[in-house]
């Protein structure tokens, strides 16, 4: 081998598909602390650590064989005394004299390897902390829900007059207590649901769901609020359309999307819920004629605790920004998805995708 290549500040290695080493330069032999004669006739397995051998066979070689090249592959080589040498490898494949040869450039990465170890460790710690946070959220929500339900119950009891006469002013105050408690319970339900989704503890029970019926049920719950807000609400679904979904969770997603549309559509506007299918997917769309969402915010709106600035929503209606995050996770838990299209000034379309239920057997 050319003198420059032999002593270049990187390892050079060529091997056949069956792993036999064709050429290896002096630098690489030196890093491995092994004489060239020892390696020239051997196979690549001999210089890889046991873990890297598996990675080579399951990832690196298939990649090289199918795509003809592999870049930035991390491997650990094994020196003559058993010490590990972390390296980065770039490889290309060429055909020479009828047989394929794989040429590699090998760069040693001692410092960087330690740095990456630290990064991976830091990521693990962060992931664990995030999971601990979710568990804490879930526990706290449980703990908060019980006393809140007691408050609502006893306010109701007082209002009923069972314990003695109640004045009109007292009744008004008790109603306020109940309304405020109701909002808090709803918020806590959201946080609980979100924590369950994050920790993967949410269970879905998939079955055939008649889509038009699901839309009708969600719509009927919100119709009075649409009327109150002066918004026209419309429904249309292809009759007989069936999706594979968890009916309770689907209801939750539809209610979230419709409530969302209600919040962001001005008086005189229209909200429309429609469904159709193109095999094998059912699409349920909630369209509004609201102010729309700026392109820059479109991806963020599904992130938890994000509320895109939309000034016309009164503070009391804003919530904590979990509705869309939960809805998308629920859609995904049902093996579907939730996406959004929006044009500022034109309104938004939220689309729930679900698998269509095949013909009944």
Partner 1 sequence: MHPILARNNVRVSGRGSRTLLFAHGFGCDQNMWRFVAPAFEDEYRVVLFDYVGSGRSDARAWDPQRYGSLEGYAQDVLDVCEALDLHDATFVGHSVSGMIGILAAIREPARFDDLILIGPSPRYLNDGPDYVGGFERADLEGLLEVMDKNYLGWASYLAPIVMQNAGRPELTRELEESFCSTDPKIARRFAEVTFFSDNRKDLANVTHPSLILQCSEDAIAPSAVGDYLARSIPGATLRRLRATGHCPHMSHPEETIEVMREYLAAAPSRREQAAASPSIRHRESWTRS
Provide the mask over 146-185, with x wherever binding to partner 1 is found by CB under 8 A and - wherever it is not: ----------------------------------------
66 binds partner 1 (CB under 8 A): yes
List, in sequence order, the alpha helices (H) in 199-286: 211-228, 247-264
295, 261 contact by CB (below 8 A): no
54 binds partner 1 (CB under 8 A): yes
Instruction: Return the residue of 33, 80, 182, 280 that touches partner 1, per CB under 8 A.
Output: 280
**335 vs 244, 342, 354, 359, CA distance in Å?**
9, 24, 7, 19
Q: How far is the CB of 45 from partner 1 (least distance, A)?
A: 5
Which run of H or E residues covers position 85?
strand 84-96
Provide the mask over 192-231, with x wherever binding to partner 1 is found by CB under 8 A and - wherever it is not: --------x-------------------------------
Residue range at the interface with partner 1 (CB under 8 A); choices 6-14, 22-30, 42-50, 227-235: 42-50
Q: Is 119 helix (H, G, I), strand (E, B) or coil?
A: helix
Burial 63-93 (b: 16+ CB within 10 A, else e): ebeeeeebeebebbbbeeeeeebbbbbebeb
Long-range contacts from 151-157, C-beta under 8 angstroms, 24+ separation = 151/177, 151/181, 152/177, 152/178, 152/181, 152/182, 152/185, 155/181
Strand duo 99-108 + 207-210: pairing: unpaired
Residue among 341, 360, 358 nearest 349 (CA): 341
Residue list 319-338, contact with partner 1 (CB under 8 A): 332, 335-337
Q: How far is the CB of 333 from partner 1 (least distance, A)?
A: 9
**94 vs 60, 66, 297, CA distance in Å?**
16, 12, 47
Instruction: Return the residue of 7, 71, 172, 232 that touches partner 1, per CB under 8 A.
Output: 71
Q: Is the dihedral of CA 32, 37, 38, 40 positive or negative?
A: positive
**Cα radius of gyration rounded to whole Å, the chain:** 31
CA dihedral 196→201→202→206, nearest 10 degrees, is 170
Among left, alpha and beta (phi > 0; psi -120 to 50; other), residue 230 is: left
248 binds partner 1 (CB under 8 A): no
Q: How far is the CB of 40 from partner 1 (least distance, A)?
A: 17
Q: Which C-beta is closer to partner 1: that of 63 or that of 180?
A: 63
99 binds partner 1 (CB under 8 A): no
Residue list 108-127, contact with partner 1 (CB under 8 A): 113, 116, 119-120
Residue list 10-39, contact with partner 1 (CB under 8 A): 17-20
Kindly report the CA angle at 269 between 265 and 273, in degrees rounded to 5? Answer: 80
103 binds partner 1 (CB under 8 A): no
Q: Which residues, 6 or more positions from 303, have their beta carbon under 8 angstroms from its beta carbon?
A: 325
Number of residues in contact with partner 1, rule: CB under 8 A? 48
304 binds partner 1 (CB under 8 A): no
Q: Which C-beta is closer to partner 1: that of 67 or that of 167?
A: 67
45 binds partner 1 (CB under 8 A): yes
Q: How far is the CB of 79 from partner 1 (least distance, A)?
A: 14
Q: How far is the CB of 92 from partner 1 (least distance, A)?
A: 8
Residue among 226, 344, 218 nearest 284 (CA): 218
Instruction: Return the residue of 6, 76, 251, 351 that touches partner 1, per CB under 8 A.
Output: 76
Q: Which C-beta is closer to partner 1: that of 34 or that of 53?
A: 53
Instruction: Return the residue of 14, 25, 27, 49 that touches partner 1, per CB under 8 A.
Output: 49
Interface residues with partner 1 (CB under 8 A) are 17-20, 43, 45, 48-55, 57-59, 61-63, 65-76, 92-93, 113, 116, 119-120, 200, 244, 279-280, 332, 335-337, 355, 358
């Amino acid at each position: 081998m050319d003198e420059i290549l032999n002593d270049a500040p990187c390892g050079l290695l060529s091997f056949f598909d069956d792993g036999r080493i064709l050429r290896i330069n002096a630098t690489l032999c030196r890093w491995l602390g092994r004489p060239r004669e020892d390696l020239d006739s051997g196979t690549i397995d001999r210089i890889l650590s046991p873990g890297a051998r598996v990675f080579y066979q399951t990832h690196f070689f298939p990649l090289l064989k199918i795509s003809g090249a592999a870049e930035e592959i991390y491997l650990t080589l094994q020196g003559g005394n058993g010490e590990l040498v972390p390296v980065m490898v770039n490889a290309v494949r060429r055909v020479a004299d009828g047989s394929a040869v794989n040429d590699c450039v090998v760069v040693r990465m001692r410092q960087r390897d330690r740095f990456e170890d630290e990064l991976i460790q830091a990521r693990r710690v962060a992931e664990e902390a995030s999971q601990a946070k979710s568990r804490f959220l879930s526990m706290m929500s449980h703990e908060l829900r019980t006393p809140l339900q007691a408050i609502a119950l006893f306010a109701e009891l007082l209002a009923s007059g069972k314990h003695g006469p109640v004045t009109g002013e007292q009744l008004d105050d008790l109603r306020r207590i109940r309304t405020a408690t109701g909002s808090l319970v709803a918020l806590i339900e959201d946080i609980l649901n979100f924590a369950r989704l994050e920790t993967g503890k949410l269970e879905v029970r998939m079955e055939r769901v008649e889509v038009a019926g699901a839309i009708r049920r969600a719509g009927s719950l919100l119709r009075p609020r649409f009327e109150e807000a002066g918004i026209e609400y419309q429904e249309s679904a292809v009759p007989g359309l069936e999706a594979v979904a968890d009916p309770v969770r689907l209801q939750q997603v539809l209610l979230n999307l419709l409530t969302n549309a209600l919040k962001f559509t001005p008086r005189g506007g229209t909200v429309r819920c429609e469904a159709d299918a193109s095999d094998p997917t059912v699409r349920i769309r909630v369209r509004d004629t609201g102010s729309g969402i700026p392109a820059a915010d479109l991806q963020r709106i599904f992130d938890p605790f994000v509320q895109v600035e939309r000034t016309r929503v009164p503070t009391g209606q804003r919530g904590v920004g979990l509705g869309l995050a939960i809805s998308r996770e629920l859609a995904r838990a049902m093996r579907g998805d939730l996406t959004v299209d929006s044009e500022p000034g034109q309104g938004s379309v939220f689309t729930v995708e679900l698998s269509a239920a095949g013909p009944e057997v």
